[in-house]
Structure 1
Amino acid sequence: MTSHTEHESLEEKRRSCHQSTPATRTRQPPEKGVFMSSETLAVPLVDLLDAFFGQYTAAGQSRGLVYGLVGPDGLEHSRGFGIADDDGGAPDADTVFPIASMTKSFVALGALLARDRGLLDIEAPITDFYPEWHGTVGDEPAVTPTIRQLLSMGGGLTEDNSWVDPFLGLSEAELVERIRPGFNYSNHPGTVFEYSNIGFTMAGLAVGKAVGRRVEDWVADEILRPLGMNSTWFDNRAPAGGFHRAVGYSLNVDGEWVGFPPEVSDAMAAAGGMQSTINDLSIWVRFLAASTLPGSDDTIVTRASRRELQRIHQVDIPSLQARPDGTWKFVTGGYALGLFVREDLHRGRIVTHSGGLPGFILNMVWHAGSGKGVIVFTNSHRGNPVGLSEDALFRALSYDDTPARVVRLWPETRELMSAADQLIRSWDEDAAAAVFADNIDFDRPLAWRRAAIDDLITQVGPLLPRSGAPEIVSSATAADVTWSIPAERGELICMIHLTPVRPAQVQEFEVIAVDHSVPRGARPTDISARRRAYVRPTVSSLPNTHVV
């Protein structure tokens, strides 16, 4: 409490502080080229992500967290927060965590490798390996699911995440006894996505039977060791020491962190029994992502099989999800083989899988078009590190203005685009006959097409002289391209799509006129009549495509 006199004295001091000579009040003009309203501070991406992830442990969501930022060349940055165990040190890129269901992509690729070597028919029914398997859909008999269907969560079995944890240590014989009474299918196999750990487990055991050794040893010998993932193993094959293992924690009724004893799996190892590090998983993410990027090779497992691993095999129901910040996220995609695949309306294809065990939640997620990814390990089962890792990935993609995909046009596509551009500017019957496939004149006579183009030029023209290569607007595949021809009162938007056989010709040819009064952002980027009517508003990742 201050007295009245003290208050007056403080007020006098306050006034004196705000009084200054004219010289000190006069603002100097800013230096030439400096504008305060556009002042920005460039913050490195890794600093932004460190601050973003650091909040998680600071808020008490987990005792520890470590993340890795992955690029096309491997791990680019990693940082740990909190503590890995009761000794108090923060986890780092070499700290070993159980990765739970992230194991599934390793086992699924092991199945494809066995298939490629002629050891396994993944289209075979599971009863070829386990005749004890049987079940019904209600009162109806059901077909037996195949190995592929079980690996892609299309086996017809009901979701079982809440049920399986106590059975992680069951032996194969004990597990077979559990399934001997039969299954109640929730759906006919091959029709609906539904996540099943026990179905995936049985498929993994079948892989082991096909190759003549435990699936754990097959994956380790044929995939992990050749990749140099020397800190990755199945928990039932873990070395006795020589590494730093994270402890999983949960809060007790008094709000105190309590550690869980480490899990050791047996028959269910294929569904979630592996352990790894940020350093090693960055090798895995890079290896899988490289299958869709130029320059990758076919060593260890072919690029084709790695792409097959990341292709949707069982479509999930699309949904519109509310984000915590009030925005909406449209989710469409499904399950591949041991991986989830999502199609983002702006960023394109996202590949991911999480893992959860008592005391741990973990996730890996990457952008198929660029090879950029994020891996997050936490040692509690609170919070949502899965959403956190996806958010971090999208921040990284936005930071670098990463396109949804990169389309590499055929040389013939560029040549025929230039030829079609010249035709539009100056029609020539002989050139048209060389450029267009027979169906172009069959679908709409060339004379009609030429007249329609003349009308379009009248609407927005005359056309401006060509300067350099045509301006590309978009491309959906290597065989098609949409480009712009500028005119005095607007532009022509043109599109060609090539034939699949050689020599390539144009099988689809579209041209529209757009008046200059139409804002650039409102102009169509895809005018293919077979894909969509260009007069209808469409939201897709096609405009965010980089064409090379």
Structure 2
Amino acid sequence: MMRNVWLVFCLCILSVQIWSGGHASAQTPVDKRIDALIEKQMKESGIPGISVTVVKGNAAVYEKGFGYAGDRHSRPVTASTLFELGSTSKAFTALGVLKLVHSGAISLNDPVSRYISGFYAVYNGKKTDITVHQLLHHTSGIPFLSIADIKIDSKEDALEKTAKGLKGVELSHKPGSTFEYATINYDVLGYIIEQASGQPYEQYMAEHVFKQLDMSNTYAGRHAGDDGDVSSGFKIGFLKARAYDAPEYRGNTPAGYIITNAEDVSKWLRSQLNHSDGDISRLIEQSHLPDKSVKTDEPGVYYGAGWSIFEKKGRVKELFHAGSNPNFSSFIIISPDDNAAVGVLANMNSAYPEKIARSVLQVIADQNQKQDGSVTDPFQVIDKAAAALLVLFSLLLIVLVWRVYIFLKNVKSKNVPVQQRTRIKALLWGGLLAAGIVVPKLISVFAFNGLPWSMIFIWGPGSLRYLAAVYGLLLLASCLFGLTACFFNHRAARRSETHEM
């Protein structure tokens, strides 16, 4: 009996030793370097949760989650945690379009009006057609600012309203002549998928794209992924990541609201790297073909079907795409020369997913290559500036009031008649109010590409709302006080003149 007990005990100890040794050996030096790199970038960025996958050849060599997926540091991020992709969704929609092209249901050279009755665009005051091909490659001429036309909407017909709402859109370029990234191009493509397939976009993508790629945890639209382990979204505000429940833009699903996790992204990346003789593989290869008839803003970079493609000496060196929503971001990069790809998913809108993805790819491709320095995240910069301006505006207001006082004192010293002095004061305060109203518009144009403030508040740091509120209150209060003072001073002066008479 004692011998049997001793035997069981020895077997247990041996099993623990084997498990411990296997567990330790599973963490390779490369894995440790990637871990350290990601943890460092997370600390710099303030992103609460990140999920990363690395594919080499036909195998996922790294899949891991970092940080937390819920508010108050609840729910750790894992490789199965779901994230909104943002614009890296476009490659999926493009593949859906190419499948319908392959089946003969869509032709890339067809005008959009063939699928959306009555659709037309306007260029130089004349009606013109844009084609499916031009939508696919962002050469339609539809302006970037059309993103502001996408409405907050969670209803089933939201995509139809987005696409049909572009009827009569004023183009910024002649169709086919210039690259201008406009996210709404892919929403129109999503609606064309519906019209050509006879299925809702979400259903078509689930059956003909995600299922074909064995991506069982990938969904089209926020509502479709609600039953899964979806991460909460965050955005920066007053130097800290804060939970943010962004409004739903269901009419923007094909361009930015595919939901997936690192496990499925690894399948997606393997399908991009490894081409077989199947139809889906040939269509993926086709999606990697850039439109070289127009150049993008980046040297050597062209746009394919949902991919930015960097070429050097006639060879494709990288395929990549960034994605961002108000409270999520992602970056995917593929290196054909290294037969490797990296996908990074984050639960905060940030520039760091690209930095992380490129740095991890460097580790995989060349372990001795020195990593680049830190990245500048515009949202961090804006947030810090907004916090500082809350203090600065108070100081500027004091200076401004003092200068106005000096000016009015000089006017008074020149014995200007009371009525004229009152007009000058009123005009001065009225001018200040008008200038204060114009300033936010100028900031929108020069800092946010002309986007409306209603959209800036949704996408930008949370501190912007507070800054705008304080700015508006200070402006309104100071101008009302100045105008009121003019009125009462004028009455007092008139009474004094009457008394003297």
TM-score range normalised by the length of the shorter chain:
0.5 to 0.7
TM-score (norm 2): 0.62
Secondary structure of residue in 1 paired with 2:212 = helix
**Partners in 1 of 2:121 and 2:210 — Cα distance?**
35
Shift of 1:195: 1.0
Match of 2:42 among 37, 41, 57: 57
**Partners in 2 of 1:49 and 1:314 — Cα distance?**
35
**Partners in 2 of 1:166 and 1:252 — Cα distance?**
24
| 169-178 vs 275-284, which moves further | 169-178
Are residues 239 and 257 of structure 1, via their aligned partners in 2, closer, same or farther at CA, if it must alter by over 3 Å?
closer
TM-score (norm 1): 0.57
1:176-206, Cα deviation, whole Å (9 max, x unpaired): 55323x1111111111111112222112211
**Partners in 2 of 1:175 and 1:249 — Cα distance?**
26
1:489-532, Cα deviation, whole Å (9 max, x unpaired): xxxxxxxxxxxxxxxxxxxxxxxxxxxxxxxxxxxxxxxxxxxx
Are residues 373 and 200 of structure 1, via their aligned partners in 2, closer, same or farther at CA, if it must alter by over 3 Å?
same
**Partners in 2 of 1:175 and 1:318 — Cα distance?**
26
- 1:298 aligned to 2:282? no
Secondary structure of residue in 1 paired with 2:251 = coil
* Equivalent residue number for residue 6 of structure 1: none
1:366-416, Cα deviation, whole Å (9 max, x unpaired): 112343011111111234321331232133222399xxxxxxxxxxxxxxx
Secondary structure of residue in 2 paired with 1:231 = coil
Q: 2:159, 2:187 within 8 Å by CA — same for their partners in 1?
A: no
Write the mapping of 1:411-450 to structure 2, written as runs, cut at 5 A: none
* Equivalent residue number for residue 266 of structure 1: 250
Are residues 178 and 239 of structure 1, via their aligned partners in 2, closer, same or farther at CA, if it must alter by over 3 Å?
closer
Shift of 1:225: 1.4
Structure 2 letter corresponding to 1:108: A
Structure 2 letter corresponding to 1:107: T
Are residues 234 and 88 of structure 1, via their aligned partners in 2, closer, same or farther at CA, if it must alter by over 3 Å?
same
Match of 1:310 among 280, 288, 305: 288
The structure where helix makes up a greater share of residues is: 2
- 1:284 aligned to 2:281? no
* Equivalent residue number for residue 355 of structure 2: 387
1:309-335, Cα deviation, whole Å (9 max, x unpaired): 011025664767xxxxxxxxxx41211
**Partners in 2 of 1:346 and 1:55 — Cα distance?**
36
Are residues 384 and 60 of structure 1, via their aligned partners in 2, closer, same or farther at CA, if it must alter by over 3 Å?
closer
* Equivalent residue number for residue 85 of structure 1: 70
- 1:339 aligned to 2:307? yes
Shift of 1:128: 0.6
Q: Which stretches in structure 1 are left out of the alignment for 5+ residues?
A: 1-42, 321-330, 402-548
* Equivalent residue number for residue 161 of structure 2: 174
Q: 1:70, 1:286 within 8 Å by CA — same for their partners in 2?
A: yes
**Partners in 1 of 2:137 and 2:102 — Cα distance?**
18
1:130-176, Cα deviation, whole Å (9 max, x unpaired): 2332222233x364111121011111111138625644647245335
Q: 1:193, 1:315 within 8 Å by CA — same for their partners in 2?
A: no
* Equivalent residue number for residue 504 of structure 1: none
Are residues 151 and 168 of structure 1, via their aligned partners in 2, closer, same or farther at CA, if it must alter by over 3 Å?
farther
**Partners in 2 of 1:56 and 1:360 — Cα distance?**
16
Q: Equivalent pairs: percent with the same residue? A: 19
Secondary structure of residue in 2 paired with 1:119 = coil
Secondary structure of residue in 1 paired with 2:319 = strand
Q: 1:310, 1:336 within 8 Å by CA — same for their partners in 2?
A: yes
Shift of 1:88: 2.7
Structure 2 letter corresponding to 1:261: D
**Partners in 2 of 1:275 and 1:107 — Cα distance?**
13
Structure 2 letter corresponding to 1:389: A
Q: 2:205, 2:220 within 8 Å by CA — same for their partners in 1?
A: no
Structure 2 letter corresponding to 1:277: N
Q: 1:168, 1:269 within 8 Å by CA — same for their partners in 2?
A: no
Structure 2 letter corresponding to 1:65: I
Number of residues of Structure 1 aligned to a counterpart in Structure 2: 339
Q: 1:234, 1:275 within 8 Å by CA — same for their partners in 2?
A: yes
Are residues 337 and 158 of structure 1, via their aligned partners in 2, closer, same or farther at CA, if it must alter by over 3 Å?
same
| 120-129 vs 75-84, which moves further | 75-84
Aligned structure 1 segments of 4 or more residues deviating by more than 6 angstroms: none
Secondary structure of residue in 2 paired with 1:179 = coil
**Partners in 1 of 2:31 and 2:113 — Cα distance?**
50
The structure where strand makes up a greater share of residues is: 1
Write the mapping of 1:399-410 to structure 2, written as runs, cut at 5 A: 399=367
The one of the two structures with greater contact order (alpha-carbon pairs below 8 A, sep at least 6) is 2
Structure 2 letter corresponding to 1:372: A
Secondary structure of residue in 2 paired with 1:131 = coil
**Partners in 2 of 1:173 and 1:374 — Cα distance?**
34
